[in-house]
Structure 1
Amino acid sequence: MASSSTQPSTQNPLNLLDLPPIATIYKSLIVMEDTYVFNIGLLKLRPERMVDFESLKINGFDFEEMFTAQGWNKYFDMLNGPIYTRMVKEFWMKAHVFDKVSARMEEEKAIKENPSLAGKTRAEMGLCDFNETVVKFVLAGIEITISRAHIAKLLGIRDAGKRIADYKNEVYYRQSIKKELYEDESLAGKSKFMKDFYVVLFKVLINNIIPRGG
């Protein structure tokens, strides 16, 4: 009896993340003005700092498990890699957030230019589908679209979470957090008054995940 074989499935080399493509190539290259009117030469990069969890652990600050439990290991490993400074600056000069408001404005512009498009879907208008808020920019004439799913896949973490803003009015959580962070709750609000463990943890956060300036 003749045997049959199936070809093993292979991953698309141009889409290693198995997500909607980040780069969209049109028939002609896109020419895009800078989003911000600013001298690119004046931009100063604030690169993330490498974190040596082993050294911190030896000195009594063992909080690596806090990041491991949330799947952040790959992110901290990436901090040891190169930084393409020129590309980062180009990104910030041309990047913009494309959200529901942006999508609606795009549709209104299309209808204004061609009133017959009124009542049509985005696809019928010749526009790309809008499913979520993304960051868009143009690099070397190619449109780049980055979604939350892309970032989650790159870091190897789940594309899920909770919004901190949802808990801003929860007195119970705020009181519990203050008790954990401060020896003297009356000093809550200033990082320098936190317990030493959380002061160091706070510095890791503001230098690598939630920078206060840039």
Structure 2
Amino acid sequence: MAWGVAPPQILPSTQDPSADSYFDGTAQTAGSGNTGRAKASSSRGGASPSGAAPTPPARHVSGVRLEVPSIGLDLDVHGGGVSSSGRVVPPVGRATWVRGFGRVAPGGVGTAVVAGHVSAHGRRDVFADLSSVRVGHELVVRSGSVVRIYAVTRVSVVDKAKLTSDAEVWGPNGSHRRLVLITCDDDLGYREDGHRVANYAVVAEAI
């Protein structure tokens, strides 16, 4: 299945190669998700979404927190606006959910995509331990008094270009709550510019 606009290219907030970009390429056909630590390969250089209107700059979503108990993670979640060039910039030290492209805020009905750095400036960042998350682990989204629990159904090492056509991440979903956490991964090595080739993606469904 194809969709009308490309998923955003997500870039680091600095030029430091240790703070990787997250997605690139233009989504054309939705591929099936890989289960386990499935591998594929990547390039960076994504295209701007054709006809996509810019969204406001990144903003904090008050009171929304993400917890990943299996790795001891508990942090605020911030919304990332998509610029006119189709880019989202996740700041170092924050987890950013993608606004636009049919994605929703964490906890909503639909698919929420949350990106965070594994490292930046030579230091561990918010998703440093994401690759330790496994199928069956739980994720928690809190917004005020509302608590939503998710069960991890898939963990994958995926080439960044191929991730842009992943149906579980970017395909239509208007019926159930899904949460996707994404960071960079070393398993497929590094590009000449020092950036990692692959993403580590965690897909979870509300229970």
More helix per residue: 1
Relative to its length, the structure with more strand (as a share) is 2
Question: TM > 0.5 between the two?
Answer: no
Normalising by the residue count of structure 1, what TM-score does the alignment of the two structures yield? Answer: 0.24
Rg larger in 1 or in 2?
A: 1
Give the TM-score normalised by the residue count of structure 2.
0.24
